[in-house]
């Protein structure tokens, strides 16, 4: 895999810079331009999104924590402001390799890793492989274990592999237009303008293959998830903050319980919201992360003294 820092930029007339007041950067991964933001100085926070979102999901966290930390958020290839090639391997395995390549290119050290949704299977494999470079981990509604025995995942997988599923994803932009809306418990938080920032990155069929590809990986990559989960002991004793929307229709509370039963050094913040705590309850999310970072920085200072 090759990479190169790129001066490439795009005009996005639909992007409201008052909502997303960040400078765009691009890096070439295997010849494609991957977008990211890199703001602030200090200890490194790396934000990893899932589907159908992009770095826009983390904007309110970045706006707060870039005052004290270096905040970095990528848009995976196929998402957000990154290139969206039609014929690309949009699996978590590949996107995880891209993320590792990106972290290596920017020479990021002592990372606090923040993951959500498919961002778990994309970001956590890096933590498993480079555990010494991970300081702590923040989990939003996500997973990292086999899915082929999950009945709900099986149902979604069947639809995505049907003609109807392909039509909905490629011709109607079904994932950001419909599924994202259904994932909100506090629907008023998803204003028309904010919703536009999730579906406008995918204006036509040719830009939607990433959505379809990663969707098919929900079960298609099940064996790989299982392989990663079998290595969880490598990071089990890291400090974890789990921020969980209890009203999530897709990644439900039994997933949270599995994390709780696995991670001994976890703090859990349960929120009365859906799949996107970052959008529905941003103030509570920022407060939880602030307390977590402060507490663990204080512990480190005590150890040094």
What is the domain extent for residue 24? Answer: 3-9+19-304
pLDDT digits (tens, 9 = 90+) for 234-268: 999 999 999 999 999 999 999 999 999 999 999 99
Residue with the two structure tokens 């990292």: 144
pLDDT digits (tens, 9 = 90+) for 121-136: 999 999 999 999 999 9
Please state, in angstroms and rounded to a whole number, the distance separating the CA atoms of residues 31 and 124: 25
Whether 163 is covered by a domain: the verdict is: yes
Whether 30 is covered by a domain: the verdict is: yes
The confidence score (pLDDT) of residue 87 equals 95
CB 110 within 8 A of CB 44: yes
Whether 14 is covered by a domain: the verdict is: no
Average pLDDT over residues 19-41: 96
35 SS3 class: strand
162: which residues sit within 8 A by CB, 6+ positions away?
Answer: none
230: which residues sit within 8 A by CB, 6+ positions away?
Answer: none
Average pLDDT over residues 183-201: 97
CB 36 within 8 A of CB 75: yes
CB 25 within 8 A of CB 10: no
pLDDT digits (tens, 9 = 90+) for 269-288: 999 999 999 999 999 999 99
Whether 130 is covered by a domain: the verdict is: yes
Q: H or E element: which one contains 101?
A: helix 92-106
The confidence score (pLDDT) of residue 7 equals 44
Q: Total domain count for the chain?
A: 1
CATH number of the domain encompassing residue 176: 3.40.50.1820
Whether 256 is covered by a domain: the verdict is: yes
Percentage of residues in the chain with pLDDT exceeding 70?
94
Whether 50 is covered by a domain: the verdict is: yes
Whether 55 is covered by a domain: the verdict is: yes
The confidence score (pLDDT) of residue 298 equals 73
Ramachandran quadrant class, 268 (left: phi over 0; alpha: psi -120 to 50; beta: rest): beta
Count other C-beta atoms under 10 Å from residue 192's C-beta. Answer: 6
In the structure encoding, which two tokens stand for residue 91, read together? Answer: 């699996």
In SS3 terms, 212-270 reads as HHHHHHHHHCHHHHHHHHCCHHHCCCCCEEEEEECCCCCCCHHHHHHHHHHCCCEEEEE
């Amino acid at each position: 895999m090759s990479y190169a820092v790129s001066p490439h930029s795009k005009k996005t007339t639909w992007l409201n810079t008052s909502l997303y007041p960040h400078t765009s950067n691009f890096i070439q991964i295997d010849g494609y331009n991957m977008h990211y933001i890199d703001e602030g100085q200090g200890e490194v926070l790396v934000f990893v999104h899932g589907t159908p979102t992009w770095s826009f999901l983390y904007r309110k966290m970045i706006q707060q924590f870039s005052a004290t930390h270096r905040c970095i958020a990528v848009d995976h290839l196929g998402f957000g402001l990154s290139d969206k090639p039609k014929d690309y391997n949009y699996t978590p395995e590949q996107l995880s390799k891209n993320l590792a390549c990106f972290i290596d290119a920017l020479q990021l050290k002592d990372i606090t890793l923040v993951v959500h949704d498919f961002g778990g299977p994309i970001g956590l494999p890096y933590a498993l492989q480079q555990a010494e470079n991970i300081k702590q981990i923040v989990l939003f509604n996500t997973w990292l274990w086999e899915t082929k025995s999950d009945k709900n995942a099986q149902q979604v997988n069947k639809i995505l592999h049907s003609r109807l599923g392909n039509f909905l994803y490629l011709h109607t932009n079904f994932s950001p237009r419909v599924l994202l809306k259904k994932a909100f418990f506090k629907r008023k938080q998803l204003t028309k303008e904010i919703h536009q920032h999730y579906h406008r990155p995918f204006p036509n069929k040719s830009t939607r293959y990433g959505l379809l590809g990663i969707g098919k990986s929900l079960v298609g990559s099940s064996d790989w998830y299982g392989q990663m989960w079998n290595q969880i002991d490598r990071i089990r004793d890291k400090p974890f903050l789990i921020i969980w929307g209890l009203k999530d229709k897709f990644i439900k509370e039994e997933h949270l319980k599995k994390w709780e039963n696995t991670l001994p050094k976890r703090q859990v913040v349960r929120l009365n919201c859906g799949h996107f705590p970052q959008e529905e309850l941003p103030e509570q999310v920022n407060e939880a992360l602030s307390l977590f970072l402060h507490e663990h920085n204080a512990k480190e200072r005590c150890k040094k003294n």
